A and B are shown apart, each in its own frame.
Chain A
Amino acid sequence: EDQVTQSPEALRLQEGESSSLNCSYTVSGLRGLFWYRQDPGKGPEFLFTLYSAGEEKEKERLKATLTKKESFLHITAPKPEDSATYLCAVQTGTASKLTFGTGTRLQVTL
């Protein structure tokens, strides 16, 4: 069975303090690894898809990287508006099923 583990469970940063979130996975046949952002009371919002080890994607202060066992979401000089829960998900098999991790709750303070 596919497993996705995210760490830390919660992270508190000061504005400008860079850090990384981890997503480690155990799957058979990775088709894609997805990062989503979820704000309180809202649905997950798509950020990135990574398909192969060594791939990197960037968007504003966020950068996602992928190895054969894990993915990192690097946050550079975060701002309070980056506060949210970040979810990692893997896709395997032929159907479009996503298996999610339990998320990292990020809080960025002034």
Chain B
Amino acid sequence: DTAVSQTPKYLVTQMGNDKSIKCEQNLGHDTMYWYKQDSKKFLKIMFSYNNKELIINETVPNRFSPKSPDKAHLNLHINSLELGDSAVYFCASSQLGSNIQYFGAGTRLSVL
């Protein structure tokens, strides 16, 4: 059983479109994250939710909106996609107090 799963694994879309990436964890963790890894492999945090409450919100364009329907799910919706949004997006989860984050396999987004 995959601990942190993301769908889709690959996403190819045109500029200006709106797309969503889904993330689910079955580890019973209460904190979830979205990271962006650029072409140079630099991994940077975007958002974090703890028990459905936003606790980290880095400098990310308003076109990116995370949504957490429950503590096992954290989805990422992106409006009006731009070329610069092309990257690999990783979801992660951790248990408050542990600080060890477990990552999904990533979603490779290509904006044409």
Chain A residues with Cβ under 8 A from B103's Cβ?
36, 43-45
| Residues 91-112 of B at the A interface (beta carbon under 8 Å) | 92, 94, 96, 99-106
| Residues 59-110 of A at the B interface (beta carbon under 8 Å) | 85, 87, 89, 91, 95-100, 102-103
Name, among B43, B45, B100, B102, the residue most crowded by chain A CB atoms within 10 Å (CB to CB): B43
Give the complex CA separation of A43 and B48 in angstroms. Answer: 17
Q: How many A-B residue pairs have CB under 8 A?
A: 55
Chain B interface helix/strand/loop/mixed: strand
- B4–A43 touching, CB < 8 Å: yes
Chain A residues with Cβ under 8 A from B99's Cβ?
31-32, 34, 49, 91, 96
Give the contact-size bracket for chain A: 20 to 34
- B4–A95 touching, CB < 8 Å: no
Chain A residues with Cβ under 8 A from B45's Cβ?
97-99
A41 within 8 A of B: yes
Give the complex CA separation of A100 and B43 in angstroms. Answer: 6
Give the complex CA separation of A47 and B30 in angstroms. Answer: 21
- A102–B42 touching, CB < 8 Å: yes
Give the complex CA separation of A103 and B39 in angstroms. Answer: 13
- A85–B100 touching, CB < 8 Å: no
The listed residue (B4, B31, B40) touching A96 by CB distance below 8 A is: B31
A residues apposed to B, CB below 8 Å = 31-32, 34, 36, 38, 41-46, 49, 85, 87, 89, 91, 95-100, 102-103
Q: A42-B105, A85-B41 are in contact. List 12 more A-B contacts (CB 8 A).
A: A34-B99, A41-B106, A43-B4, A44-B43, A49-B99, A49-B100, A91-B99, A96-B31, A96-B33, A96-B101, A100-B43, A103-B41
B residues apposed to A, CB below 8 Å = 4, 31, 33, 40-45, 48, 55-56, 90, 92, 94, 96, 99-106
